[in-house]
Amino acid sequence: MTISTTQRDRLNQIRERANSARGRRAAAQKALDAAKAAQDPQAQHAAEVAYQHAVGEVDVARELEAVLLSQAAGVSSGAMFGTESFLDDPETVASLEQLAHSSMPIGQLNLGPLASREDLIGMLESGSWGPSRRSLALTEPALPDMTRQTAFYGTVPQLRRRLRLLDLIPTMAMDGLQFAYAQESGSLDTAEETPEGSLKPQGDQVLTDALVIAKTIAHWFKLKRQQLADVPALGTVVNNRLTYGVMRRVENQIVSGDGEGDDLLGILNTAGIATVAFDGSVPLSDLSLDGIVDVLTAEAQPNAVVLNPTDWAAMLKVKSVGSGDRLDSAGAFSTPADQLWGLPAIPSTVMPTGQALVGDFTAGCTLFVREGVNVRISDADQDDFLRNQLTMLGEGRFGLAIWQPAAFALVNLAA
């Protein structure tokens, strides 16, 4: 492992910071013990606060050291970030630390990629890009023996749906704002046996021009300047909120984007997909089978059915009018119903209630990534500077190609 001069200096600063924090922690512990012995509540509270501040400083220094050493070794310091993440750059981390303790205006800073295009594609293809399963912050505080002591256990992520549809769709890099392609259509049954000397039959090939345009998908949130002080834990918050929010919107757009303005054109609004009309006399699972048949008839190979959890449950609850026996499930204590007519059934709120999407998601479409998730930070938005808060913006650019509209079928499960 080779460490540059800048990295070595930064490492020495971090270690000095850790040693200083350990000294303050030991002094605070002694003061706390003395306050307990003297039964002085006011002094005990002050010592507890000093102890917790010192513990936090030690944890931050330890995490910063791990980030720096990981970068010097050429490996990523986090499971969710690639080697190009701004959170793996010691200089950027140092700048964020300075911002946390400064009252000077910063204007707008481009922090750089949180997940580069290549890293994001790799995460999507592996299915491992999503939020961490850890519910706490990156580091858990060491808890001293204190009566009724309140300790910060990190940030508990908000409940959120799994973006399982993204696991079905191929992902590729995209260069430039847009690119054109041609969609082939026409009859494939024009070839015939031809006697000698006879006119041979004409083929039927139609090429229709189509275009993929990269669209920006972004959102932002505000945080207090002091919250930057724990920079490593900021990585968890930024990744969980900014990256997930962008990719959740991408998944929504893949299904329901209307193609107007800066929206992607989603599958449900693409001309040429098959549609199964609702029929109240037909079981919902049979309607889904009709959609599967439509995709097969188009000579595609359906590989999943995506439907709203409410409709998924309605299918499982269907019972015979006479006997009350379940028609399409073995009941609550059977194997989970993760397949529908042999295809993976994916319950997800990305689908509106009353609709199911059957498709050959592998051949039917591709998600193109023009830019990964980039992050900017500013105190110049609205009255941020006066309120001592910062605005953090995350955005990416994506394009969607629906290569084969006939590879999809919309099944209406309600009137």
Rounded distance, CA 19 to CA 29, Å? 15
pLDDT, one tens digit per residue, over 179-221 is: 998 888 888 888 889 999 889 999 888 888 889 999 999 999 8
Residue 324: the pLDDT is 65
Q: What is the 3-state secondary structure (H, E, C) of the chain?
A: CCCCHHHHHHHHHHHHHHHHHHHHHHHHHHHHHHHHHHCCHHHHHHHHHHHHHHHHHHHHHHHHHHHHHHHHHCCCCCCCCCCCCHHHCHHHHHHHHHHHCCCCCCCEEEEEEEECHHHHHHHHHHCCCCCCCCCCCCCCCCCCCCCCCCCCCCCCCCCCCCCCHHHHCCEEECCCCEEEEEEEECCCCCCCCCCCCCCCCCCCCEEEEEEEECEEEEEEEEEEHHHHHCHHHHHHHHHHHHHHHHHHHHHHHHHHCECCCCCCECHHHCCCCEEECCCCCCCHHHHHHHHHHHHHHCCCCCCEEEECHHHHHHHHHCECCCCCCECCCCCCCCCCCCEECCEEEEECCCCCCCEEEEECHHHHEEEEEEEEEEEEEECCCCCHHHHCEEEEEEEEEEEEEECCHHHEEEEECCC
Higher confidence at residue 337 or residue 400? 400
Rounded distance, CA 85 to CA 95, Å? 15
> Mean pLDDT in the chain?
81
Tell which residue, 135, 204, 122, has the closest CA to residue 166: 122
Residue 352: pLDDT over 90: yes
Rounded distance, CA 348 to CA 331, Å? 21
Higher confidence at residue 248 or residue 226? 248
Residue 302: pLDDT over 60: yes
Arithmetic mean of pLDDT, 324-351: 80
Arithmetic mean of pLDDT, 222-251: 79
Residue 135: pLDDT over 60: no
Residue 143: pLDDT over 80: no
Rounded distance, CA 207 to CA 335, Å? 47
Q: How confident is the model at residue 346 (pLDDT cuts 50, 70, 90)?
A: very high
CA distances from 365 to 162, 248, 255, 348, 373 (A): 20, 18, 11, 19, 22
Tell which residue, 379, 378, 383, has the closest CA to residue 109: 378
Tell which residue, 396, 407, 139, has the closest CA to residue 243: 396
User: pTM (2 decimals)?
Assistant: 0.73
Q: How confident is the model at residue 79 (pLDDT cuts 50, 70, 90)?
A: very low
Instruction: Find the radius of gyration of the CA atoms of the chain.
Output: 28
Residue 3: the pLDDT is 62
Cβ contact 118:151 at 8 Å:
no
Tokens of 393: 């913006």
Residue 180: the pLDDT is 92
Rounded distance, CA 383 to CA 386, Å? 5
Residue 100: the pLDDT is 73
Q: What percent of the chain has pLDDT over 90?
A: 38
pLDDT, one tens digit per residue, over 238-284 is: 777 888 899 999 999 999 999 999 999 999 999 999 999 999 999 99
How many other CB atoms sit within 10 Å of the CB of residue 197? 5
* Least trusted range by pLDDT, from 66-70, 219-223, 314-318: 66-70
Residue 67: the pLDDT is 61
Rounded distance, CA 308 to CA 318, Å? 16
Residue 115: pLDDT over 80: no
Residue 223: the pLDDT is 84
CB-based contacts of 77, cutoff 8 Å, min separation 6: 66, 67, 70, 71, 87, 88
Tokens of 291: 């959609």
